[in-house]
Amino acid sequence: MPLSRLYRYILRRKYRVDATPGERILVVTRSMSDVLYERSQSLLTLPFGRRRIVGMNNWRNATDYLYLLFEFDVDWIINVDEDCFVFDNDRILGLLSFMQHNDYDFCGIPDGGACVHRFHNPVVTNPFFNIYNAGRIRPKLREESVFQINRVRYAPELERFTPRHLLKNDHAYAFDDFECYYGFFFWLLLSGFKPLYLPSRELEDGLTTELRDHEDVPFLYHTWFTRKYTRDEEHTRRIDHIFDLARRGVSR
């Protein structure tokens, strides 16, 4: 545990974790692009504080980022990638309220079987958009060693969490240990935290995800391939187009 405390201390100091007194809900974004961050934030009208986390550009930083979220002393965290373009903010508020009133602890899209190019573990929620009950998760998280959590691997007992009603017949998935952050989500499930898996569909470009809420109503587009923005003409053009759709409030 001393090493875990040191790890959390370093995260707090390096990324200047803070919460305004009385702030109970926070929107947090891991960001690598000024343009994408400004665009995505321009579409968010949520009445909560916001924090931009920069400098986590390595793929392994995805795990650090998840732990960093729970260093903010707030009750709820809305985690949203900078390449997510929201076109219905009220739906996020409704989703948050639904989770609060039905004892859900975290939500997100299955990382396999729901998206054509994410064919990995469906019990894990991909961290491009999540809502976390930080007030409930944080105390338990601080009792554990983050290094032990990172070493949690998939076990057959986790298969019972598979959201089979959301998995698509023509989309592959595997009960694997693909991403460095998977241990965190396995730990959440094994620790008794309640997941809410969200439905989605792909747009005509075959890549962009239209995320839907608990009532199967769409509220944001996730474009993926942030690192390709401005570096690949096709992806840049696609992402710009999706931003324009969201800005006009268009659901396809």
Torsion angle, CA of 37/93/111/188, rounded to 10 degrees? 110
Residue 151 has pLDDT above 60, yes or no: yes
Residues in contact with 38: Cβ distance below 8 Å, sequence separation at least 6, in sequence order: none
- How far does Cα 155 stand from its chain's mean position? 23
Contacts of 164 (CB under 8 A, 6+ apart): none
CA distances from 176 to 53, 120, 122, 184, 192 (A): 29, 6, 9, 14, 20
What one-character-per-residue DSSP string does 93-143 give?
HHHHHHHHHTT--EEE-BSEEEETTEES-TTSBPTTEEEE-HHHHHHHHHH
Token pair for residue 240? 């710009």
Question: Average pLDDT in the 110-114 region?
Answer: 98
Can you give the pLDDT at residue 250?
61
| Residue 91, both tokens | 């739906």
> Cα separation of 239 and 252, whole Å?
15
pLDDT in tens, 69-92: 999 999 999 999 999 999 999 999
Contacts of 64 (CB under 8 A, 6+ apart): 11, 56
Q: Are the C-beta atoms of 132 and 77 separated by less than 8 Å?
A: yes
Q: What is the DSSP string of 14-40?
A: HTT----TT--EEEEEEES-HHHHHHH
What pLDDT score does 59 carry?
79
pLDDT band for position 2 (50/70/90)?
A: confident
Query: 200, 114 in Cβ contact below 8 A?
Result: yes
* 222, 225, 228, 234: CA torsion to nearest 10: -70
What's the CATH number of domain 2-247, 3.30.1360, 3.90.550, 3.30.70, 3.40.50?
3.90.550
Domain residue ranges of the chain, discontinuous segments joined by +: 2-247
CB neighbours of residue 133 within 10 Å: 20
Cβ neighbour number for residue 199 with a 10 Å cutoff: 19
Residue 224 pLDDT exceeds 90: yes
Whole-angstrom Cα distance, residue 170 to residue 96? 31
Quick: pLDDT tens for 94-111. Answer: 999 999 999 999 999 999
How much is the pLDDT for 216?
98
- Phi, psi angle pair for 140, to nearest 5°: -70, -40
Q: Which of 65, 190, 71 is nearest to 128 (CA)?
A: 65
